[in-house]
A = this chain, B = another copy of it.
Amino acid sequence: MKRIGLWLTSIALIFMLGCSPQATSSQWVTKQSFTTENFTTLGGEVIPEVQVGWEAYGELNEAKDNVILITHFFSGNSHAAGKYAETDPMPGYWDAIIGPGKAIDTNKYYVISSDTLVNQEPHNPNVITTGPASINPATGKPYGLDFPVVTIRDFVNVQKLLLESLGIERLHAVVGASMGSLQALEWSVAYPDKVERLISVIGMGESDPWTIATLQQWANPILADPHWNQGDYYGGEAPTEGVIQALMSITLQAQHPVIFNQLHAASSATEKAPLQNINENFAAVEQLRAMATARATYADANHILYLVRANQLFVAGHGNSLEEGLANIKAKTLLLPATNDVLLQPYLAKRIYNILTDQGKSVIYDEIQGPWGHLDGIISISSKEDLLRDFLSN
Interface, chain A (partner B; CB < 8 A) = 42-43, 145, 149, 151, 206-214, 216-217, 220-221, 224-226, 231, 241-242, 245, 248-249, 252, 255, 257, 260-261, 263-265, 267-270, 274-279, 281-282, 284-285, 288, 305-306, 309, 312-315, 318-321, 342, 345, 347
Q: Could you say which residues of chain B place their CB within 8 Å of the CB of A261?
A: 208-210
Alpha-carbon separation in the docked complex, A249 to B306 (Å): 20
Q: Could you say which residues of chain B place their CB within 8 Å of the CB of A318?
A: 270
Report whether A220 and B248 are in contact in the complex, using a CB–CB cutoff of 8 Å. yes
Report whether A213 and B288 are in contact in the complex, using a CB–CB cutoff of 8 Å. yes
Q: Could you say which residues of chain B place their CB within 8 Å of the CB of A207?
A: 268-269
Report whether B274 and A309 are in contact in the complex, using a CB–CB cutoff of 8 Å. yes
Q: Could you say which residues of chain B place their CB within 8 Å of the CB of A217?
A: 217, 248-249, 252
CB distance from A221 to the nearest CB of B (A): 6
Alpha-carbon separation in the docked complex, A91 to B225 (Å): 39
Alpha-carbon separation in the docked complex, A268 to B315 (Å): 9
Q: Could you say which residues of chain B place their CB within 8 Å of the CB of A278?
A: 145, 149, 231, 305-306, 309
Take A149-B275, A214-B252, A284-B209 as given contacts and tell me if A313 and B269 are in contact as well, using a CB distance cutoff of 8 Å: yes
Q: Which of B257, B269, B282 contacts A345 (CB 8 A)?
A: B257
CB distance from A178 to the nearest CB of B (A): 16
- Given contact pairs A213-B252, A216-B281, a sample of 20 additional A-B residue pairs in the complex whose CB atoms are under 8 Å apart: A43-B275, A149-B278, A206-B269, A208-B257, A209-B260, A209-B261, A210-B252, A210-B261, A212-B284, A213-B260, A214-B252, A216-B285, A216-B288, A220-B248, A221-B224, A224-B242, A257-B347, A274-B312, A275-B313, A342-B342
